Amino acid sequence: MPLLDALSPLSPSLGGLLILLSVVTSAFTAAFGVGGGVLMIMALAQVMPAAALIPVHGMVQLGSNVGRTTMTWRHVDRNTLLFFVPGVILGALAAAWLVIRLPAGVLELCIAAFVLFTCWGPGVPKRALHGAGIVVAGAVTTLLSSLVGASGPMVAAFVKQRQEGRLAKVATFSACMSLQHLTKIFVFGMAGFVFREWLGLMVAMVVAGLVGTWLGLKLLHRLSEHHFDNLFKWALTLLALRLVWLGVSRWSGMA
């Protein structure tokens, strides 16, 4: 336990559980395309100080997504990334200087509505999936990522319509999320967060996440295209419904 005790301000038992959780959530995202990040932040929110929640989650997810991108880099859609990067930069700048926040709960309801519309509605207009539409998507989701921690369902819903094939979806989604989480070093560094205090736990969770990614990709290769699309859609839907519940709870609590 001495090693676990030195990793972070949390107790050794909690640190060990979070390291195991990183394996599970990374495997989940690698296999089903989305969901691990939201599951992770839900768990972290139960045991971690609010000030550390989003930056620590962001760094762990950065490591997990970089690992997944490295393992699937041949399938990444470079054209999507070309337009996504400027949006990420704009979103990060807005997040770093934002002083006015939306009422509690509204943000979650907006994300959930977008995801449900993308999964079950007529789809995002084709022109929104190219050029300027990708820049806007990158900016909005990066801003949301810094405010609510996990913008994965929204990015996944966007990637789902633009990419063909399960590996392309997972690879491109992972690359986009890597860029978003990378900006949190800048955003929360500007806000004065001390990453050093949590560095040991973050590194341990990243290493565990790489193991989970490897396991999840093994499962992904065994899924048929049809089954993957169904699992991907239902994973997004369940996450969106959770956001609806969370958003309504927060909004009604503030009313």
Token reading at 234:
């239902």
pLDDT on residue 207? 92
Digit-coded pLDDT (tens) for 35-85 = 777 777 767 777 777 678 778 888 888 888 898 899 888 989 888 888 888
Q: Confidence class of residue 23 from pLDDT cuts 50, 70 and 90?
A: very high
pTM: 0.72
